[in-house]
Amino acid sequence: METTFSPEQMQVPAIAIANDILRKCVHCGFCTATCPTYVLLGDEADSPRGRIYMIKDMLENAKPAPARVVKHIDRCLTCLSCTSTCPSGVDYMHLIDHARVHVEETYSRPLGDRLLRMVLAFVVPNPVIFRLSLIGARLARPFRALMPGRLKGMIAMAPDKIPTPSRCDTPQVFAAEGKRRMRVALMTGCAQKVLRPSINEATVRLLNRHGCEVVVAPGSACCGALVHHMGKEDASHAAARNNVAAWTAEIDGAGLDAIIINASGCGTTVKDYGFMLKGDPAWAEKAAKIASLTKDVTEVMSALGIGENTLKEQPSVVYHSACSMQHGQKLREEPKNLLKNAGFEVRDPVEGHLCCGSAGTYNLLQPELAGRLKVRKAANLEAQGAAVIATGNIGCLVQISGATDTPVVHTVELLDWATGGPVPEGLK
């Protein structure tokens, strides 16, 4: 793709990066076949290729983001399926990230949209406030018919039961069982520790059982993905620096062999910390180090080996690969192989490359499209006739659970169960 940025524009690092990305696009259209919004809507403007054209025009002309462009950028799930099919290696992720920053800085959203985004950015990354908001949403259920559309959807998504906080999520060290093979930090996250704390508990048990000393580092918190995908660059970089500082202190202290993430959406963001902070001399090197140490829990378990299976009978499992897992981190076979090695029969759904519609806060900001994707995904998973749906991302777990009666559990909960842990919460 030909670009016409001025020499002055090219002095801006973000524009120079965008220029390099844009020039790799050859207009082939392979991305349209795997883009969820294009599959649903059939609109070129809701395909990666269409969005690339609009972003190019917006950035080259250095103009505020127009409402039409914002609509189509907002509809992008950032599922990154397009990057898996692009033959030219277009770095769509960083291009759309920059476009969202430009939108945030230049476009004045309608008041209701602006307030909703402010609430989400404030509430979800803070576990205490998020827990209180879910309690409030449950109390508001009888009145949800009176609420505006997207607020009504938020209230409907509140779980019937909110688990009590887990002691696993407080700063501490969990000793390895037997000989220590690794020392790792676990990122406990924000929404996950409220919605399904059993995932972190299962992760700690599984890692301890396989010789890992697990530390929950003081000061580590939300990865920043939620505000990052809203274009709130200052907030996302602040979250990144916070975690880099917390984990660097552990590296400088007793040392770390890896930083474990068990929510693939968070893992994709933390693995990108080196890129996010490369323009900050005080943090660039530390951030790159943290990114290089970051692993999904299934990566580490694949290296350690799953060991002996303690179950006599195991349910069949259909595996949903989160977009952030298969497209963002390129981890496609590791989780499935671990489940197979643990004795589970693993089935693959049709359209496994398509997003379930969760995509961070997408299901709250774009409920109509997210709802269509959710129903489509649940139907494809149910069609495999498995007893359990497994996934490696809390957002997908909650989203899919809302459209099926088949239990949905985290991959690590099944691995923990198969190697001596309790029955997963979702199967009780």
Which CATH number do you get for residue 331? 3.40.50.1860
Q: Is 83 among the domain residues?
A: yes
Residues 289 and 339 in one domain: no
Pair 177, 185: CB distance under 8 Å: no
Residue 211 sits in which domain range?
167-301
Quote the pLDDT of residue 159: 82
Q: Is 85 helix (H, G, I), strand (E, B) or coil?
A: helix
Quote the pLDDT of residue 160: 81
- The rounded distance, in Å, linking the Cα atoms of 236 and 80 is 19
Which ranges of 63-108 does DSSP label H, i.e. alpha helix? 67-74, 81-85, 92-106
Q: Is 161 among the domain residues?
A: no
Alpha carbon dihedral 322, 327, 330, 332, in 10-degree steps, equals: 50
Residue 166 sits at the vertex; the CA angle it makes with 162 and 169, to the nearest 5 degrees, is 120
Q: Is 66 among the domain residues?
A: yes
Quote the pLDDT of residue 223: 97
Q: Is 162 among the domain residues?
A: no
Q: Is 4 among the domain residues?
A: no
Closest C-alpha among 416, 403, 332, 407 to residue 374: 403
Residues 198 and 270 in one domain: yes
Q: CA 7 → CA 19, 63, 65, 279, distances in Å?
A: 12, 17, 22, 20
Quote the pLDDT of residue 141: 77
Q: CA 120 → CA 41, 180, 242, 394, distances in Å?
A: 27, 40, 20, 17
- The rounded distance, in Å, linking the Cα atoms of 109 and 115 is 9
Quote the pLDDT of residue 271: 98
Mean pLDDT per 10-residue interval, the chain, length 428 residues: 96 97 95 97 97 97 95 98 96 98 97 93 95 87 72 75 93 97 97 96 98 98 97 98 98 98 98 97 98 98 94 96 98 98 97 96 94 98 98 97 97 98 93
Q: Is 115 among the domain residues?
A: yes
Which pTM was predicted? Answer: 0.95
The token pair at 13 is 């690092």
Quote the pLDDT of residue 149: 66
Q: Which residue has tokens 């003081």?
A: 218
Residues 76 and 152 in one domain: no
Select from 278, 301, 324 the last residue of a domain: 301
Number of domains observed in the structure of the chain: 4
Quote the pLDDT of residue 148: 66
